[in-house]
Amino acid sequence: MAMLEPELQSLLKRNLELTEENNRLIRSMRRMSFWGGVLKVVWWLLILVILPFAAYYFYLAPYVEQFMSGVKEVQGIRADIQSNNPLADLKKMFEQYQASMKAK
């Protein structure tokens, strides 16, 4: 291959420098785009996953605990009613009344 003219040689050198600079810029843009995507995913995870748990823990937990204590109290009253069974006592009193009426 013949020796290139000095002007053509300087143009090729300038073209190579611009191409290398372009390559560095494109790589930098791709890297920034990648980290921007990662940060966006982390941000949405924070908003959609962690924030609701924090809101529950700090704001809703006392109300849920009060509600659950009320539910346990109602369940305890229900268990007392079932164990005492006032209808069975009423039935026994009615049978005693009937027996006393027949005896008279």
pTM of the complete model:
0.48
Query: Given 3-state DSSP classes, what are the helix, strand and coil percentages for the chain, each rounded to the nearest 5?
Result: 95, 0, 5
Tens of pLDDT, residue by residue, the chain (104 residues): 456 688 899 999 999 999 999 999 999 999 999 999 999 999 999 999 888 888 888 888 888 899 999 888 888 887 777 677 666 777 788 888 888 888 76
- Round to whole Å and give the CA distance between 73 and 81: 12
Yes or no: say if 4 and 12 are a contact pair by the CB < 8 Å rule: yes
Cα 52 from Cα 44, distance rounded (Å): 12
pLDDT at position 86, please?
Answer: 64
Q: Which amino acid is at 60?
A: L
In a domain, 13, yes or no: yes
Structural domain range at position 13: 8-103
